[in-house]
Structure 1
């Protein structure tokens, strides 16, 4: 639809870059007719994106409230892939969209990127007594939101706190919010900058350095996964339906889970070890088991709660 304006944050990242390239290559007329702006920091990155025909908007950081609100107020849709761990950042973008809604009387939408560690269990630290990471379905919206609130009351987690802020501020301002909840990602990104995700590539790098693969804990945790291009296609689908006036769940009904398979940590570790040994870059197919503290030290992560959620949970 001609005249629609999209603001994308995180365009230089793995998810955001792939979402951007997906939108730029979209065949949907409602998307090809829209103008895309990107929020960036750094002259080099801005220059590359300008060369691609994009409008770049400079900002100083996640706490740059005035600049964020102003940028969002000039767009119909904001897609935030920059960070799911900054509740103030998300709130500023939503409030900026609300200014546009109030000034022009138009519908505005905020598409947020989150992750499944929001619903992870705590097998070692036992941060959520009695919670076993039972199946949570985005078709059961009351269950999704109550789970977010219940877990965060027991142990606050920044990404979960941000999801709850998105729901709260969206409801308060009348901005339609959609939270796309990603599991573990894999595959090469198609953006202009970062091509690799974290987690498994990070562990592969550690394995190459030490000549042996390691995982955190006993490896029985189950992780769902999706290829990055399939994940990016969900953003395109949501955006197309928004622009074409089709129904898209929003608010507490708009928490969308993305996945197309699952694996256990030990399965991933053993597969990497086997391939690494076969290629001659690892000395052994044996997989070491590290404690949370050992893994945190190796990864340079002080937050042991996050190490458990990201590298050992279900």
Structure 2
């Protein structure tokens, strides 16, 4: 019997793209009649139903609603919004059916940055990351990762953690099609008629949304095939396609905006101060350094060779080695990203800046600290 898949966040950037990827795949394991979508608002029911998937109205903040929805639909979970409720319901489902259930949680690589208090420097998804997270307190989204793993273990649910890096590209979902950080920078430049940078450059990590979708689908396919994959405390999977320099990206944006007559010129300038940048990017000033500004590695317990430093650059360094277990080969690299940066601008101009998903959620969460 095929395993059912429940997708939450299907109206968002990542969840919508994953749903689209599942529906467009020719893999026989991804049967449309075994795909469920959990939503809280009836306004999306008609559109999702027309895609041929089963729609479940579930309030993910309500334990009873989640429990009834999961038990009724015999679902597994992808991209949970309220992890504890979904895990508890999946545990109940496992006890009732005696069948394995699986939980994929979307986290974020930024938590491994020194800006978030991580003392570890370079980390790999084959490292003992759960133990490293447990040793660090007060860093988001570490507590959520830990809770997912511990709650899933208690409930007999097999869990996986996927922390995407900076995502770019146009999504394939029905609603939110824009990523967060790069569109915000483009929108700020258009508004201020100039492209601005922070005084310290950073080389960070990126993945095109199509490659990220492929990563999720490879993991789901392996689960459905019954592959023996690391899970739980060993179940971290980093979908890192490549690295890039923020100044290189901003320079390409500046030149492309100049060609469109949307900025005064194609030169990069420094932000006057964090308050101006925060207002233009629509991000709380206290959060801004954690999202856009990172410092180069300088901790005494961490050192890199010159070659590694040139390759990896800044301190939020994550290496995804488990991509080989999944057979994931990204189609985008740094050169392709930079040469097609005008696509990001076209999407912002066409779709408008969507205040969605990751940027809004992280900003709200960190702004409370």
Range into which the TM-score falls when normalised by the shorter chain: 0.7 to 0.9
Shift of residue 291 of structure 1? 4.1
- Matched ranges for 1:65-84 at <5 A: 65-73=63-71, 74-80=73-79, 83=81
Quote the Cα distance in structure 1 between the aligned partners of 2:191 and 2:231: 45
Instruction: Determine which of 149, 172, 184 is the counterpart of 2:134.
Output: 149
Matches within 5 A, 1:269-284: 269-284=250-265
Contiguous gaps of at least 5 residues in structure 1: 84-88
d(CA) in 2 for partners of 1:195 and 1:219?
30
User: Is the contact made by 1:97 and 1:108 (CA closer than 8 Å) also made in structure 2?
Assistant: yes
Provide, for residues 181-222 of structure 1, a one-character-per-residue CA deviation record: whole Å limited to 9, x for no partner. 10011111111111110000111011111111123x324222
1:64 and 1:293, CA in 2 relative to 1: closer, same or farther beyond 3 A? farther
Of 92, 107, 128, the match for 2:85: 92
SS of 1:266 mapped into structure 2: helix
Residue 91 of structure 1 deviates from its aligned partner by: 0.9
Tell me, in whole angstroms, the C-alpha distance in 1 between the residues paired with 2:168 and 2:279.
Answer: 24
TM-score, with structure 1 as normaliser: 0.87
In structure 2, how many angstroms separate the alpha carbons of the residues matched to 1:22 and 1:70?
Answer: 27
2:126 touches 2:236 (CA, 8 Å); kept in 1?
A: no
Check whether the contact 2:14–2:213 (CA below 8 A) recurs between aligned residues.
yes
Equivalence map 1:1-314=2 (5 Å): 2-32=1-31, 35-60=34-59, 62-73=60-71, 74-80=73-79, 83=81, 89-122=82-115, 128=117, 131=119, 134-140=121-127, 142=128, 144-151=129-136, 153=137, 155-157=138-140, 159-215=141-197, 217-284=198-265, 285-289=267-271, 291-302=273-284, 304=286, 306-313=287-294, 314=316
Distance 1:96 1:54 in 2: 21
Structure 2, unaligned runs of 5 or more: 295-315, 317-369
Instruction: Calculate the TM-score normalised by the size of structure 2.
Output: 0.74
Q: For residues 229-251 of structure 1, what are the alpha-carbon distances to aligned partners after superposition, in whole Å with 9 as ceiling and x for unaligned?
A: 11111111111111111122210
Higher strand share: 1
Corresponding residue SS for 1:191 = coil
Which residue of the partner structure matches residue 346 of structure 2? none
Once the two structures are TM-superposed, the CA of residue 252 in structure 1 deviates from its matched residue by: 1.1
- What is the count of residue pairs matched by the alignment? 293
CA deviation profile, 1:132-191 (whole Å, cap 9, x unmatched): x62110112x1x22332333x1x332x222111111101111100011110011111111
Residues 33 and 13 (structure 1), Cα distance of their counterparts in 2 relative to 1, 3 Å cut: closer
Residues 4-51 of structure 1, C-alpha deviation per residue, up to 9 Å, x if partnerless? Answer: 211100101110111001111122212226511111133332111011
Q: 1:147 to 1:293 in 2, by over 3 A?
A: farther
Higher mean C-alpha deviation, range 276-285 or range 251-260? 276-285
